[in-house]
Amino acid sequence: MDLSLLLRGLIIGLAIAAPVGPIGVLTIRRTLANGWAIGFATGLGAATADATYGAVAAFGLAAVSGALASAQLWLRLIGGVALIMLGLRTLRAKPATATATAPTPAGLLAAWGSTVLLTLTNPATIISFTAIFAGIGVAGSGYAGAAIIVLGVLLGSATWWLLLSGGVTLLRERLGPHILRWANVLSGLVLAAFGVVALASVAISAWPHR
């Protein structure tokens, strides 16, 4: 195994996952409301989607990339609506209790799957991966090298979500119901705002230009 490619993948995965965005807000909120396991499963869904798009870019799947690019307006529309709905639901949610109940397998799968789908509504991620991989010369490393770097992306992204959900869990134990209620309000507003921005970008892209 080429450890240098794995290390590059780890760094790329961390860099893609770390910036604050709707998935980060959702992971923090679910960790506060439901505990570490649900929070990490949420982040792991984003890591899975990142690795999926990374694989499309690394293996040069032009047909898949082209299809996603042509459908990106619809995907962004779906993602924007989903974020607004999540935001409104979060605003209405009751504050979490101090002790989270043990998550069920179905709950973990739902947290993971919903985030996979939500993250996949941003096909522009493929463009980012394509540019990054071209810069570090993934194309010349063959299928084995591409697989290694995609594995690194998955592990790097998952590491970030592990650290984030773990850190929020430690903080959660020190927060009272009043602060958790405000955390719901803030999270809901931020998620809804991301959704509005996504819908606005769709409207701007679809508007006929002269």
How many CB atoms are closer than 10 A to CB 63? Answer: 9
Tell me what percent of the chain is helix, strand and coil, each rounded to the nearest 5.
85, 0, 15
The pLDDT of residue 139: 57
How many CB atoms are closer than 10 A to CB 68? Answer: 19
The pLDDT of residue 194: 83
Phi and psi at 175, nearest 5°, equal: -105, 140
The pLDDT of residue 208: 63
The pLDDT of residue 78: 83
In this structure, what token pair is assigned to residue 169?
Answer: 């869990």
Residues in Cβ contact with 46 at an 8 Å cutoff, skipping those fewer than 6 apart? 17, 23, 27, 115, 116, 119, 157, 161
The pLDDT of residue 183: 77
The pLDDT of residue 155: 94
How many CB atoms are closer than 10 A to CB 110? Answer: 16
pLDDT per 10-residue tile (average), the chain, 210 residues: 81 84 89 90 94 84 64 77 85 66 86 92 74 67 81 93 91 74 81 85 70
Query: What's the pTM value of the predicted model, to 2 decimals?
Result: 0.79
The pLDDT of residue 69: 63
The pLDDT of residue 20: 72
Residue 182, amino acid:
W
Residue 168 · residue 160 · CB < 8 Å: no
